Amino acid sequence: MQRERFVIATNNAGKLCELQELLSEFGISSISMTAAGISLNPEESGATFEENAYIKAKSVCLATGMPAIADDSGLVVDALSGAPGVHSARYGGEELTDAQRYMYLLRQMETVPEEERGAKFVSVLCCVFPNGNHILARGECFGHILFEPDGTGGFGYDPVFAEATTGRSFGRLTPAEKGKISHRGRALVVLREKLAQYFAHLERIAEESL
């Protein structure tokens, strides 16, 4: 299915590592922005995950002339009316570490009972091509917010999110275990299907023009 190498449009080391590992499992070759020779930090001014993923992928595609894949993801908490949502990476302040950020989240939920701690992780992947075409793929993973961190694996809010089907914290899962059930893993399944359809469409157009 693979036709081109993609640049992953992220400055988040944890997300880069996870995306490269997941993409490779689907036979998709990718490089970092550093390897592509660029340093960008596009303003995520969109109101949705879809808008922000497109902004990032388009910026990197224009800068490199290569197809770019961007992920915009976040934690959506029922008791916080959907927060932190698209602001997940900046929730509580730009300067916070991952641990400080999820502890800030837990403080906001100190009085929320267990039955009202529902949440989901959302990932939207956007692939933008030099010809202007783009593909969007969305994945969601449901669970609940723990009362305290559990595990040290993953990144971001992983240690305080327990996935619904396993009951285990993302911070306790191996990368392979997480990849099978995570929001990003599910979005990648959709993206792979859409990429296959996209390349097949291009091939049909090329054949018809002969």
Residue identified by tokens 């036709």 is 3
- Check 71, 72, 98, 150 and give the catalytic one: 72
> Known catalytic residue: 71?
no
Helix, strand or coil, per DSSP, at residue 127: strand
The residues, any chain, with a CB within 8 Å of residue 112's CB and separated by 6 or more, are: 79, 145
Look up residue 111 and give its DSSP letter. Answer: T
Structural contact between residues 19 and 71, judged by C-beta atoms closer than 8 angstroms: yes
Residue identified by tokens 């800068």 is 63
Q: Which of 164, 169, 180 is nearest to 18 (CA)?
A: 180
CA distance 27 to 29: 6
What is the set of active-site residues?
A: 72
